[in-house]
């Protein structure tokens, strides 16, 4: 997906009524998933900056998930803070744009695909 398309998607996700508190990214060339909050989603350029990962180009996003529950780990054996996220509202807001975003739906998450992996 292009940087322009990611910026258009982030404009939708920033809507306060969606109350997205956390997204999970998978970056090209990195096997790990990275959960992040959303303060940086105002992306006027082809890259964004994040406290967790530092700056990264939008085109490096392999996929992004919005899960029905955000989980925020805490230290000192304190249970993680959990927050519900309405993925049905997110899905509706994305579809209401009329743009074709590559979505994968599951019961507890919505995944937006940036790059499709092809088996060699």
Round to whole Å and give the CA distance between 29 and 7.
22
pLDDT range class, residue 63, cuts 50, 70, 90: very high
Predicted pLDDT of residue 115: 84
User: What angle is formed at CA 82 by the lines to CA 80 and CA 13, rounded to 5 degrees?
Assistant: 130
Domain ranges (residues) in the chain: 3-113
Q: What is the 3-state secondary structure (H, E, C) of 27-86?
A: ECCCCCEEEECCCCCCCCCCEECCCCCCCEEHHHEEEEEEECEEEECCCCCCCCEEEECC
Q: Give the other-Cβ count within 10 Å of 64's Cβ.
A: 22
Query: Mind listing the pLDDT tens digit for each residue in 24-61?
Result: 999 998 899 989 876 455 556 776 766 666 778 889 99
């Amino acid at each position: 997906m292009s940087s322009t398309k990611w910026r258009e998607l982030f404009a939708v996700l920033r809507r306060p009524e969606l109350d997205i508190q956390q997204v999970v990214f998978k970056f090209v060339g990195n096997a790990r998933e990275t959960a992040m909050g959303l303060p940086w989603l105002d992306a006027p350029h082809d890259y964004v900056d994040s406290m967790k990962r530092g700056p990264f180009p939008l085109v490096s996003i392999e996929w992004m998930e919005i899960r029905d529950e955000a989980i925020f780990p805490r230290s000192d054996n304190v249970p993680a803070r959990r927050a519900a996220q309405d993925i049905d509202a997110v899905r509706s807001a994305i579809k209401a744009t009329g743009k074709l975003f590559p979505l994968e739906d599951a019961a507890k998450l919505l995944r937006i695909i940036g790059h499709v992996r092809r088996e060699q």
